[in-house]
Amino acid sequence: MSPRLLLVALLLVGPAPLAQADAPPPPMEDAALSSALHALLEASVPADAPGAVLRVRRGDTVLLREARGLADVPAGVPLTPEHTFRLGSVTKQFAAIVVLTLVEEGRIALDQPIRALLPEYPAPQGDQVTVAHLLTHTSGIPSFNALPGFADRAGQEVSREEAVAFFAAEPLLFEPGTAWAYSNSGYFLLGVIAERVTGTPFEQLLQERVIAPAGLQDTRLGDPPPGTPLHAQGHGRTRAGDWVHAPPISMAWPFTAGGIVSSADDLERWDRALREGRIVSAETLERAWTPVVLQDGTPLDRGQGWFLGEVQGHPAAWHGGAITGFLTHVVHVPALDLHVAALTNGAAVDPSTLARRAVQIVLGEPLPGPGDPEPRLTPAELGRLAGVYRIDDHTVRRVVVRKGGILTQRSSGGGRARPRILSPTRFLYEQDLSVLEFVVEDGQVVAQELTPWGSAWSERAERVP
C-alpha cells in the first residue's frame, strides 16, 4: 500500500476499536489462527445445507483453505475448496481492471464522455457521464435491475444493444459526480465500452488481460457448461424451508456487472497478481484503491471497483456479490498482505459476516459469537440509553429497553434490531458487524454513532431532548 493511500485513509475518521485495552493482545501463532478460523467456519455453516468455502492467506501462509456444507443439497454432494461459484458483483473489480488496462494504453480516458466511445448513447446523459463516473458509481445512471419491468426480463437472453437500450433513455438520478448510487448499468456499460474500443469480446479481453497474466485456472465470464465437475449448484429456499436448486437465469444481464465465475484459489491468485504488478501498474492500482471525492469535496468510502475503509487502523479494500443462488465476499488488507475470500452457494450463511469475522481473528481482535457470554447491564445502565436520536431532518433512530437489552429502530422503514451488548455504551449488530456507540458528555448520553464494519466514517445521531 502506497504512503499516499495510507495517508488518505488515515485522514478519514475511523471507527474506534471494538474492545478497550491497555495494550493490544499478543499475536496468535499460525496454528492457533488456523484452529480459530476452522472453528469459525464450523460454527457458521450447517453441514447439511448449502455450503461455504473460506480461504485466508496472510503473507505466504495459507491459514485456512476449507469447505463446509454441500455443493448440491438435493443430491447430497459435499462442497470442496476446489468448487467454483458465481461471484456476482465481485465481478466489478475484474471489469474495472480490464478497463484500466485500456486507460494505461491510452485507448480510453477517464474523463471521456461515454458518447465519445458509444455514439449511439442518448444525449444529454451520454455527454454528461464519463468513464470515471461509471467506475465509481457516481454516474447517476439507474441500475437496470431496479427499473420497472426488469423482473419480467431477467430470465431472458439479451444482446448488449438490447440491454443498454433498456436503461439508456432513463433520466439520471443526479448530476454526475455530485452523489453516489450503486449502478449495475454503469458496469455493464464498461464492458460494452471495452468491447467497442478493442473490437474484441469481453471474454477474450478477460482471458488476455487477467486470466493469463494472473495464472487463473477456474475463472470465466458466464456459467460453465451444465454438468461441469466442481461447479457448485446455487440454492434457494422454499416457504417450507427446504433447500432447492435456484432457478436458471440469463448470464447476459449480469455481464461485467456480475457475470464472472471463479474459485477461492483463483481469487487469491488474482489478489497476488494485482499486488505484484502483473496486471496494471502500482499507480493504477493505487488510483483504484483511492477514495473517490465528489464535486463538493466529500470523500466516499468507494474507489474504482472496490469499497474502501480501514480495519483496526489498517486500510482495506473489499467487495461483496449477490446473484441468484450465490453470495460472495472478498477482503484485502494490503498493509498486512492479508486476503480473505468467502464463497457460498446459498443463504445458509452470510459470507460478508464470515469473511469479516475471519479478518478480526487474524488481527487478534475476534468478535464475540453466539456462544460467547454477553455482558449484563443494570436497568439503570440500559434506561439511560433509551430515547430518540435524530440522524437528519427526516430520520431518527429510536431506542427502547427490552428483556435485558435494547431494541433499535430506524424511522425510514427499518425493522427493530437487538444489538449485542459489548459494554455499557457499545453494542454490536451481529448481522453486519456494525457498532453502535453512545456518546457520553458530563455524565449524560448526548448522541450515538453508528460505524459500519471497516468503514472510515460514522453516522452520528444527536439525542432529542
pLDDT tens-digit series, residues 277-296: 999 999 999 999 999 999 99
Last residue of a domain, one of 308, 336, 367: 367
Q: Is the pLDDT of residue 241 over 70?
A: yes
Please return the burial class of 344, using the count of CB atoms within 10 Å of its CB with bins 0-12, 13-18 and 19+.
Answer: buried
Q: Residues 16-34: what's their mean pLDDT?
A: 61
Residues 6+ positions from 58 with CB-CB distance below 8 Å:
33, 336, 337, 338, 339, 362
pLDDT score at 412? 67
Residues 6+ positions from 445 with CB-CB distance below 8 Å:
384, 385, 387, 425, 438, 439, 463
Q: Residues 298-325: what's their mean pLDDT?
A: 94
Give a yes or no: residue 403 inside a domain: yes
Please, which pLDDT band fits residue 28 given cuts at 50, 70 and 90?
confident
Q: Is the pLDDT of residue 116 over 80?
A: yes
Please, which pLDDT band fits residue 417 given cuts at 50, 70 and 90?
very high
Q: How many CB atoms within 10 Å of residue 355?
A: 24
**Strand stretches in 171-325, DSSP E:** 220-221, 235-237, 243-245, 260-263, 307-311, 314-323
Last residue of a domain, one of 309, 333, 367: 367
Alpha-carbon distance 437 to 455, whole Å? 14
pLDDT score at 312? 85
Q: Is the pLDDT of residue 346 over 80?
A: yes
Residues 77 and 184 in one domain: yes
Tell me if residue 378 falls in helix, strand or coil: coil
Residues 314 and 400 in one domain: no
Residues 354 and 457 in one domain: no
Domain harbouring 212, CATH code: 3.40.710.10
Residues 331 and 397 in one domain: no
Residues 6+ positions from 343 with CB-CB distance below 8 Å:
52, 53, 85, 87, 232, 263, 264, 267, 326, 328, 351
pLDDT score at 456? 76
Please, which pLDDT band fits residue 25 given cuts at 50, 70 and 90?
low
pLDDT tens-digit series, residues 139-163: 999 999 999 999 989 888 999 999 9
Alpha-carbon distance 171 to 131, whole Å? 18
Q: Residues 248-266: what's their mean pLDDT?
A: 96
Q: Residues 250-270: what's their mean pLDDT?
A: 97
Residues 295 and 429 in one domain: no
Mean pLDDT for the chain?
Answer: 92
Residues 50 and 108 in one domain: yes
The three three-digit cell numbers of residue 313, written as one number = 487502523
Domain residues for the domain of 278 are 1-367
Domain harbouring 395, CATH code: 2.40.128.50
Q: Is the pLDDT of residue 43 over 70?
A: yes
Q: Residues 174-193: what's their mean pLDDT?
A: 98
Please, which pLDDT band fits residue 5 given cuts at 50, 70 and 90?
very low
Residues 404 and 321 in one domain: no
Q: Residues 396-425: what's their mean pLDDT?
A: 92
Last residue of a domain, one of 329, 345, 367: 367
Alpha-carbon distance 71 to 49, whole Å? 9
Please, which pLDDT band fits residue 27 given cuts at 50, 70 and 90?
low
Residues 303 and 387 in one domain: no
Residues 429 and 359 in one domain: no
Q: Is the pLDDT of residue 2 over 70?
A: no
Domains of the chain: total: 2
Q: Residues 352-364: what's their mean pLDDT?
A: 96
**Whether the model pTM is above 0.85:** yes
Give a yes or no: residue 66 inside a domain: yes
Q: For every residue of 323-351, which 3-state class applies, written as one string?
A: ECCEEEEEEEEHHHCEEEEEEECCCCCCH
Q: Give the neighbor-by-neighbor strand order of the sheet with 444-451.
A: 405-410, 396-402, 387-390, 459-463, 444-451, 434-441, 426-429, 420-421
